[in-house]
Amino acid sequence: VWISPYEFIGIWTRRTQEHAIIGKCRERTAEWQCEKLSEEKQIRPVGSLVLQSRPIISASGDRIFLTLPVSDGMAGMFDHIAQISFDGKKQFLTHGQYVVTSIFAYREDLKTLYYSANIVDEPGIRHIYSLRHHNNSNEQHYINCISCKVNASCLYNNAQFSPDGKYFILECLGPDFPNFYLINTESEQIIEILDTNERLRRWSDKLAIPKVRQFSIKTNRPGNYCIRIQLIIPLSVNELDDSRYPLLIEANRMPGIQGVNYLNKIDWLRYLTSRREYITARIDTRGSGFQGDRHQYSIYKRIGELEMEDLKIALAYLKQLPYIDHSKIAIWGQEYGGYLSTAFLATENSVACAVAVSPITMSVFAERFMGTPEENYLGYEKSELMQLSPLLKGRTLNLVHGTMDRRVNIQHSMQFIKSLTMNAVQYRTQ
């Protein structure tokens, strides 16, 4: 992040991602000179140190704000706001068993920071907060939920701040239709309602908008974690009659992301539900994000293994619902989700078919979750998708991969196709 044309804040990390240095660099004549502001080390027993937030620099230019993991006892590590002054002092401004997802702006004149976070036991919620803090660490900080007061029914919010931080657009993005408000940051009051999408609401009254349900399965496994499920159900489904519908499960695209939240989005799953009358599901297993590092890095060096266990638990629960057709259950996913979809098809007989789009068939991409091949050779061997090729005989697999895919090289699918062919597995590809 550039402070001026001659100064910037940089973050350096090792390949193993367990150690990072935050530094300030300045151009001196013909060379650059850097000084260390803070050094962060991995203190959790497993996982990586990932600094994802973009640092926010104060107007006075003497400190920065960014999210860093901080321990919350036995619950593990959670990303919270840290203030790092240019003399190297670090102070955490937020604490608790929730995750700060973004830092938007800092008003120097108001001593107020604006950020978004979820809440305890509700990782799919996003609210916008203001935090008025004091330089004296002994004084209590005042935190206020802005989006809660503007529209309490809105559970997934985002914000777009003006360059001077005096105003911002509050984007209410779910679970209902989007609303947009112009907010004064000092008073935290609405200046103008920009759009409530009333026309879209009236138009949607004529449509068969799918029903969305979210629930959690409390497991009795170590950690007593929850598997979170989002079901998208056709409007025509009557839970009291005997009609049964196909079920399509979407696997998360990458570890550390979140599929189950309150964001209202029109995507392929909504299309299949409304047009084809499929019941579709998103499932957040162990390894998903925004629930603390203990949950996210529970799959460390065991990638694919624990997610498969949780998917089987979730599927067993869904099969108890009276409107699910047990003979028409499918799973699909992209990238890492394609890997999970294929592996799930190979190991779960109740799944009729799978669609794998740009599947990652070799775990080399995942050093953040697997460690290096030198230190976790057995884990890499066990997670290779090619080893499951013989189990795909007689199963229905559709493999899709674009030749110009920039995120996942087509070599992944080529290697997998070779393995399928050598094991006489029939499949469809495009």
From CA 299, how far away is CA 104, in angstroms rounded? 31
Question: How high is the mean pLDDT of the chain?
Answer: 89
| pLDDT for the residue numbered 323 | 92
- Predicted confidence (pLDDT) per residue in 374-429, tens digit: 888 888 888 888 889 999 999 999 999 988 888 888 888 899 999 999 999 999 99
- Predicted confidence (pLDDT) per residue in 221-232, tens digit: 877 889 999 999
Residue 248 vs residue 77, higher pLDDT = 248
% of the chain at pLDDT higher than 90 = 55
pTM metric for this prediction: 0.90
From CA 292, how far away is CA 143, in angstroms rounded? 21
- CA quadruple 293, 296, 301, 306: dihedral positive or negative? positive
- Predicted confidence (pLDDT) per residue in 111-150, tens digit: 999 999 999 999 999 999 999 987 665 566 899 999 999 9
The closest of 230, 364, 219, 217 to 303, measured between CA atoms, is 364
Give the tokens for residue 355: 């669609």
| pLDDT for the residue numbered 303 | 83
Instruction: Tally Cβ neighbours within 10 Å of residue 129.
Output: 20
From CA 50, how far away is CA 42, in angstroms rounded? 9
Question: Helix 305-318 crosses helix 336-347 at what angle (to 10 degrees)?
Answer: 60
- Predicted confidence (pLDDT) per residue in 47-104, tens digit: 566 776 788 888 888 888 999 888 887 788 899 999 988 888 889 999 999 999 999 9
| pLDDT for the residue numbered 135 | 64
Backbone angles phi, psi at 3, to 5 degrees: -85, -40
Distant-in-sequence contacts of 108-117, Cβ < 8 A, 24+ apart? 108/58, 108/59, 108/60, 110/185, 110/186, 112/185, 113/56, 113/65, 113/81, 114/146, 114/159, 114/161, 114/165, 114/168, 114/185, 115/81, 116/157, 116/158, 116/159
Phi-psi region of 25 (alpha: psi -120 to 50; beta: other; left: phi over 0): beta
From CA 358, how far away is CA 237, in angstroms rounded? 33
pLDDT at 351 over 90: yes
- Predicted confidence (pLDDT) per residue in 253-278, tens digit: 988 899 999 999 889 999 999 999 99
Q: How far is CA 48 from CA 42, 227, 237, in A?
A: 7, 23, 44
Backbone angles phi, psi at 58, to 5 degrees: -70, 155
Domain 2-200: CATH superfamily, name plus number? Dipeptidylpeptidase IV, N-terminal domain (2.140.10.30)
| pLDDT for the residue numbered 45 | 55
| pLDDT for the residue numbered 139 | 62
Radius of gyration of the chain (CA): 24
- The three-point CA angle 70-71-77 to 5° equals 80
| pLDDT for the residue numbered 268 | 92
| pLDDT for the residue numbered 234 | 93
Domain ranges of the chain: 2-200, 208-429
From CA 260, how far away is CA 231, in angstroms rounded? 9
**CATH number corresponding to 208-429:** 3.40.50.1820
What burial class does residue 60 get, using C-beta atoms within 10 Å of its C-beta: 0-12 exposed, 13-18 middle, 19+ buried? exposed
Residues 243-261, mean pLDDT to the nearest whole number: 93
